[in-house]
Amino acid sequence: MSDNNTKLTKEEERLFGDLMPEELNEIIQSGLNRRHFVKLIGLASAGLLTSHLIGAEQLFARAIDMEIEDLPPIAIENGVTVNLKVNSVGKIVLIDSRTTLLDTLRERLRLTGSKKGCDHGQCGACTVILDGNRVLSCLTLAASCEGKSVITIEGLARNNELNPMQSAFLKHDGFQCGFCTPGQICSAVALMKEAKEGQASYVSTNIRETEVGMMLSDDEIAERMSGNICRCGAYPNIVAAIKEAQTGKNIEQTWLFAG
Amino acid sequence: MRPFKFTNTKNSSAAINLLDRNPNASFLAGGTNLLDLMKEDVERPDELIDITRLDLTSISSITRGKNAGGVLIGGLGKNTNAANHQLIRKDFPLLTKAILAGASAQIRNMATNGGNLMQRTRCSYFYDTAMPCNKRSPGSGCSAMEGFNRMHAVFGWSNECVAVYPSDMAVALSAMNANINVMQKEGQIRSIAINDFHRLPGNHPEKDNTLNHGELITSIELPKNNFAAHSAYVKVRDRNSYAFALVSVATGLVLDGNKIVSAHIAMGGVAHKPWRASIAEALLRGKAATLANFRLAAEAEMSHAKPLFHNKFKVGLGANTITAALQLASKGTDAVA
């Protein structure tokens, strides 16, 4: 994967820069905070762009080097102490045995990038990467994660450089409201590994032979990403973003700036 | 979700003993169905025994004995790994196709092979604790019988229950005559033929299968077959991916030129268990592999269907799907529709 082609385009940089000249770096590094948010809301003339940027905040989420803060338990029945690695940082949490991995991340570790969409394994918004594989954190008990390593959307960027998949989603506008985006991106990042290994899908045509390092067609991407629902219907842009991240080549954008 | 005690073990015998001593305990494997049902208050275990760390995940060839040429799949291996293992893709591609037709990549990464067999029906009345359901609450009645039963059974149902069994994987296992090996207390092993593993509802729809409390699925055994080059899994659903079957068909054809030596056909989405289409199989034996013969056999099978008010379409759809699957299989496993 090449980073060169997945950076923000000049138009996008100008768009962000015009809007928030002094805070752009800060947003990229540590996410959108209340001060930025209030300022964005104040920019009445950029009303549409505001909602776009709130979506973009899901892409950046929080940088990996931020301190993960534990929260005190409120009421615990059948407590289980779990050691797990979250975005490469070791954590020990005492949880109620009923707590899902999703609730542990969101409510105990303040990593709210992973979203609770349906909470029943039907939407994919809670997708995280557990020991290298994408899973649904809403149907995973945290108690069963002893010794495991979790990567969430907050852990994908390296040294404040976006993961190429994050840049590709930004470039291709692979979201509208942004709620499904952390799950989409975690899912797509894990998909790159699956394609590299030559894992098959229901639409693969050569089941009996394993093709290592396969390049995914649009149909393959759609089938393999079917566990991530996007209510805004950004699917064509999501497919384009994944294609760009996989090939490292410019993929034609399905949208253009007006004028 | 109701409170439960969480227990963890790396030892199969210990796991079985833990389960055996508590009638309200459940094993926890992938959890993709169990946790959902616990959130819905349909399943109410007071203890979960996490068995995902048991050493039952390998996939290996059977090299000796009467089952030589077959393969043994660990009960606690992940669905993704079973579908993608070289041995399975090469010699049992029907299983790969069926597993990949089910759920999403995320769920297949979590779900185990044994757990897949233990899935419960997705009948909406089973999930809705405000409605009567004999499977969830024996004796309360069946809401689907005269309710919205578009997704329900056309074969083998009883007045007590018209639900269908949801797994795709098991439909392929049925066509392949797999055996389910289970470990009991004191370590005895018993082997259950896949077609005897799940049951029809009869007067006890609360029982999905013939596994007893205190038994653990250790492995799934696939006997050697001669239809790896001529197999197909066709699944028809309301959307193209990530949905349960309206009708699905797993088939393998053993061919001698254009003559059918034997046809192996199982259906999903039509009964309380994978439905072996034995009428169609018998009609095809020794016949020419032609579209006309496929169609005749498919219609003969479906002529025995007893549809409900909203699912009459499954009779025609079933015949079309069997025909399409046989046609695809006759062209070759990697043929495209």
CA distance to A94, A97, A98, per residue, from A78 (Å): 10, 6, 8
- Is residue B48 within 8 angstroms of chain A, CB to CB? yes
Q: Regarding beta strands B47-50 and B25-28, do their DSSP bridges make them parallel or antiparallel, or are they unpaired? A: parallel
Nearest-Cα distance to chain B for A29, in Å, is: 29
Q: Is the C-alpha dihedral spanning A154, A158, A162, A166 positive or negative?
A: negative
Residues of chain A with Cβ-Cβ distance to B333 below 8 Å are: 207-208
- Closest CB to A139: pick one of B36, B48, B333: B36
- Sorted by where each starts, the structural domains of chain A and their CATH numbers stand as 4-60+162-247 (1.10.150.120), 79-155 (3.10.20.30)
Does residue A240 register a pLDDT over 80?
yes
Nearest-Cα distance to chain A for B234, in Å, is: 10
Q: Does the distance separating the beta carbons of B90 and A140 come in below 8 Å?
A: no
Rounded Cα–Cα distance for residues A252 and A1 (Å): 17
- Chain segment A112-161, per-residue pLDDT in tens: 999 999 999 999 999 999 999 999 999 999 999 999 999 999 999 998 89
A199 to chain B: closest CA residue: B84
Q: What is the mean pLDDT of residues B27-41?
A: 98
Q: What is the pLDDT of residue A13?
A: 62
A95 to chain B: closest CA residue: B6
Does residue A6 register a pLDDT over 60?
no
| String of DSSP letters for B17-78 | HHHHH-TTEEEESS-TTHHHHHHTTS---SEEEE-TTSS---EEE--SSTTTT-EEEETTSB
Residues of chain B with Cβ-Cβ distance to A208 below 8 Å are: 89-90, 93, 228, 333-334
Identify residues of A whose CB sits under 8 angstroms from chain B CBs.
77-78, 80, 96-98, 100, 119-121, 124, 127, 133-136, 139-141, 143-144, 146, 187, 190-191, 194, 197-202, 204-210, 222-224, 226-228
The pTM of the full predicted model, rounded to 2 decimals, is 0.89
- Is residue B112 within 8 angstroms of chain A, CB to CB? no
Q: What is the mean pLDDT of residues B224-232?
A: 97
As separate numbers, helices (DSSP H) first and strands (DSSP E) second, chain A gives 9, 5
Residues of chain B with Cβ-Cβ distance to A134 below 8 Å are: 105-106, 109
- Closest CB to B109: pick one of A119, A135, A146: A135
Q: Which CATH architecture has domain B231-331?
A: 2-Layer Sandwich (3.30)
Q: What is the pLDDT of residue B132?
A: 98
Residues of chain A with Cβ-Cβ distance to B100 below 8 Å are: 200-202, 204
Q: Does the distance separating the beta carbons of A207 and B93 come in below 8 Å?
A: yes
Rounded Cα–Cα distance for residues B13 and B22 (Å): 15
User: CB pairs below 8 Å between A and B: how many?
Assistant: 120
The answer to whether the CB of A191 falls within 8 A of the CB of A168 is no
- Chain segment B42-62, per-residue pLDDT in tens: 999 999 999 999 999 999 999
Q: What is the mean pLDDT of residues B87-109?
A: 98
Q: Does the distance separating the beta carbons of B3 and A77 come in below 8 Å?
A: yes
One CATH from 3.30.43.10, 3.30.200.100, 1.10.40.30, 3.10.129.10 for B5-52: 3.30.43.10
Does residue A26 register a pLDDT over 90?
no
Q: What is the mean pLDDT of residues A186-208?
A: 96
Question: What's the pLDDT band for B233 if we cut at 50, 70, 90?
Answer: very high
The per-residue pLDDT of chain B, averaged, comes to 97
Rounded Cα–Cα distance for residues B8 and A81 (Å): 12
Residues of chain A with Cβ-Cβ distance to B241 below 8 Å are: 202, 222-223, 226
Which value does ipTM take for this structure? 0.97
Question: What's the pLDDT band for A58 if we cut at 50, 70, 90?
Answer: low
Please tell me the least confidently modeled range out of B86-90, B193-197, B331-335. Answer: B331-335
Q: Which comes out higher in pLDDT, residue A254 or B274?
A: B274
- Is residue B83 within 8 angstroms of chain A, CB to CB? yes
Name A70's Cβ contacts closer than 8 Å, sequence gap at least 6.
A91, A93, A108, A109
The answer to whether the CB of A147 falls within 8 A of the CB of B129 is no
Task: Return the percentage of chain A with pLDDT > 90, whole number.
Answer: 66
Neighbouring C-beta atoms of residue A231, cutoff 10 Å: 12
Rounded Cα–Cα distance for residues A166 and A157 (Å): 8
Q: What is the pLDDT of residue B124?
A: 98
- Amino acid letter, residue B284: L
- Is residue B41 within 8 angstroms of chain A, CB to CB? no
The domain locations on chain B are: 5-52, 231-331
Rounded Cα–Cα distance for residues A149 and A140 (Å): 13
Q: Which comes out higher in pLDDT, residue A24 or B311?
A: B311
Neighbouring C-beta atoms of residue A25, cutoff 10 Å: 10
- Chain segment A28-53, per-residue pLDDT in tens: 555 555 455 445 544 534 444 544 55
